[in-house]
A and B are shown apart, each in its own frame.
Chain A
Amino acid sequence: MKDILKNIPDKREDKNTTSLKFKKDLISYLGDDYKDKVCLEIGTSRGYSTKILSHLFKKVITCENNIDTINFAKNVNKDRNNIEFLHKDVYNTAWDFEGVDVVFIDCNHEISYVLSDIRNAINLCEKNDDILIIFDDYGLDNPWEGVKEAIATYDDDDRFEIVREIGEPKGSDCNPRALLRDVEGVICKFKSKVEYKNLVFIMDIQLDGDGRYSSNRSSHYKYSIGSWKKWCEKNNSELFVLNDLVLPNEEMGICWQRYYLFDILASNDVKYDQVLMVDADTIVHPDCPNFFDMSNGKYVGVHNEGSYDWIFRSLEHYSKYIFGGKTIEWWKYINGGFQIVNHNHKKFFENVVNFYWTYNKNLIELQNTFHTGTDQTPLNYLIHLNNVNLKLLPYEFNMCDLNRKEILTEDMLFTKVGWVYQFNSIPNQVDHNITNHYLEKTYKHFYGELK
């Protein structure tokens, strides 16, 4: 161990590295057990930890976005020949690594970035295998939520556990900026032996009146649910249909209540990997590709192609009356009827719900004044303002406003040119008769009579 730590500074000498105790604990934990394994380091920094890792692993792949830092680290490690240095933005490029056994994370410590790191690390874990994920700065006392809070979001996930605390203890002065609020680092293990399935979540709730979930509209949602059931069977996913309101509709509109998703699933003891929240006025094509495989662990939506008069008015109203004049990139504006989320977005959904309770009076007034939507536009602002890493799928995965595209016709042309059909924004409807007609007709076109 002495040889490995030769010329390696302590955190007290160089605040950009880990403490010597952290490194010693790491060496002690890993020992010689990983000499034939591969470590992926996220955030090379000055390369001191990289050097330690290169003694413990057969190979180290280390990623860093700052080229000057990489050059510094290369110099520190000039006597090592088992390190692959990558100039890579780990938050905007795919983690297309293979054969990784351990991931060492010491990069951006803001919670959303850490959650992204964890998700990407987990995705590297082969089926029926384990992966070690090592975190620095677990106890760092930042004014924002960081590593500790990110790991805490996995408290109820049986597959994820902290197996060892490492480094300086809580209260240590190793960081010159502030005392540690908890132990410096942790080693976690993710076990993929327990398979959590992807989930399709649909709300099918009967309400009185003329709204989205009024009984005359929801009468045909059974066809939507039927199609999603078939899709789930084919794609090793599960369907969860919510039939009860979380809160009275008068307190919180039904569209907003879907952001209680993670609480709903927890209270029903449902385990999941990713979740698609999809509206019940959709039908899915039986051969629709598995969109869960396309998410890269990100928040997924589909740009709302439709009436931009409505979208721009909505954006302008919410900007002016709720979001203090802020704007968003409108070409990334998504439809709320198709959203894929995962564990990493729990915190974001909490923010959405909190936002609602903070601004509900203004929101309702705005809805009733301008009629430019309920949750959808605020959701888009919040995605933007919370820096949620959003991935857009092509229009074919949520084909709204089909009439505008000239394909919502009795020849069923829409069924030949896409995967998920949302029968909304249809003009000249009476009691949702056209939506209902196409829900039923499209289901029968693909699947026959509903049983």
Chain B
Amino acid sequence: MKNKKNVVWWPAVKNSDHNDKFGNFEYFQYSRNTWEYWCKKNDVLFVPFEVPIEKDLFRYRINWQKVIFAFDELKRMNINYDQIALVDSSFMIRWDAPNFFNMTDRRFTAWRDTDNMRWIYESIQGYKGIFNEFKLDMSKYVNSGFIVFNEEHKDIFTSFKDFYIDNIDEFILLQDKKVKRGNDQTPLNYWLQINQVDINLDLPIAFKLTHLPRKDMINHNWQDGDDKTPFFIKYGYNFSFNGISKDQRNTAMKQTWDMIKGNYK
């Protein structure tokens, strides 16, 4: 099919029930500014996901909807997609980040998550039962906030959607009451491994800088020179403002935007 374009699928639905927790989601704009610029520069289609498919955001959390409805929604919008990058709106991409679509070898591409290994371990254990005690390889556990895939993976997403809907009550119980360690991410990891999806884990971690404070990446070189640029801006391509208190996200992303916005003109 001609005129296919790579797509950045950017979920940013404002859930009014969580306005206080997320400071009215003002941070969306800073993420959007960077991704819109990067997409234009790299001839990529920026597709925001702002109106939920399912209105019941308790049963269908946005984190679930961004994954299970991605293909449906792109089809409904009549978008002629090639590769799709699902990227959370807590990410800001650097103005000169390389075009990762050219680095995927058209494989399902993701990045390992090793930030809080206790949380990950507990989450894996917590969801084990619903996946028939499948032995998940933690050394291949990926973050679902930034993944790249294509048409070949449509069946996986469709079956994942069906599995969620078929077991929705149990998933809600697990995520809200029993496990309380994330929602879509660990189940998606199970689904990918159960279905033996070939995952490209080889792209540099600079494309998925999460938990910046945990990594001491907010700092600058305080020992030498006058450069006060935080390390994550200097050395990262795509940085997430997770792993911090959610009510601080607006402030942190605004400060970052103010620091770097001159590069996005």
A and B: bona fide binding partners: yes
Count A-side interface residues using an 8 Å CB cutoff: 28
Q: Which residue of A lies closest to B219 (CB)?
A: A309
Partner pick for A317 among B112, B117, B214, B224, CB 8 A cutoff:
B224
- What size tier do the contact residues of chain B reach? 20 to 34
Contact A308 B216 (CB under 8 A): yes
Instruction: Encode B222-241 as 1/0 by CB contact (under 8 A) with A.
Output: 11110000010011000000
Given A309-B217, A329-B204, answer yes or no on A316-B117 (Cβ-Cβ < 8 Å).
no
Cβ of B259 under 8 Å from chain A: no
Binding site for B on A (CB under 8 A): 303, 305, 307-310, 312-313, 316-317, 320, 329-331, 370, 372, 394-396, 404-407, 409, 413-414, 416-417
A316-B224 contact, Cβ under 8 Å, with A394-B139, A406-B118: yes
15 contacts across the A-B interface (CB closer than 8 A): A307-B216, A308-B235, A312-B231, A312-B235, A316-B224, A316-B225, A330-B206, A331-B204, A331-B205, A372-B223, A395-B112, A407-B118, A409-B118, A413-B121, A416-B121
SS of A interface (majority) = helix
The one of B117, B215, B225 that contacts A406, using a Cβ cutoff of 8 Å: B117
Give chain B nearest CB distance to A368 CB in angstroms: 13
Residues of the A chain whose Cβ atoms lie less than 8 Å from the Cβ of B139: 394-396
Q: Which residues of B contact A396 (CB under 8 A)?
A: 139
Q: Which residue of A lies closest to B202 (CB)?
A: A392
> Which residues does chain A contribute within 8 Å of B234, judged by CB atoms?
312
- Asked if A330 contacts B235 (CB within 8 A), the reply is yes
Nearest B residue (CB) for A321:
B224
Q: Does B114 contact A (CB under 8 A)?
A: yes
- Expressed in whole angstroms, the minimum distance between the Cβ of A316 and any Cβ of chain B is 5
The answer to whether residues A407 and B117 also contact, given A308-B231, A320-B224 and a CB cut-off of 8 A, is yes
Q: How far is the CB of B119 from chain A (nearest CB, A)?
A: 7
Closest Cβ–Cβ distance, residue A121 to chain B (whole Å): 26
State which residues 179-218 of B face A: CB under 8 Å.
Answer: 204-206, 214-217
Contact A309 B216 (CB under 8 A): yes
Query: Does B26 sit at the interface, judged by CB under 8 A?
Result: no
Residue of A nearest to B122 (CB): A413
Q: Which of B206, B214, B221 contacts A313 (CB 8 A)?
A: B221
Set of chain A residues within 8 Å of B117, measured between Cβ atoms: 405-407, 413-414, 417
Q: A309-B217, A330-B235 are in contact. Are A406 and B116 (CB under 8 A)?
A: yes
7 nearest CB pairs, A to B: A309-B216, A406-B118, A405-B117, A331-B204, A309-B219, A307-B216, A312-B231
Query: What's the Cα separation between A303 and B202 when bound, in Å?
Result: 13
Alpha-carbon distance A413/B118, docked complex (angstroms): 8
- Taking CB atoms, residues of chain A closer than 8 Å to B121 are 407, 413, 416-417
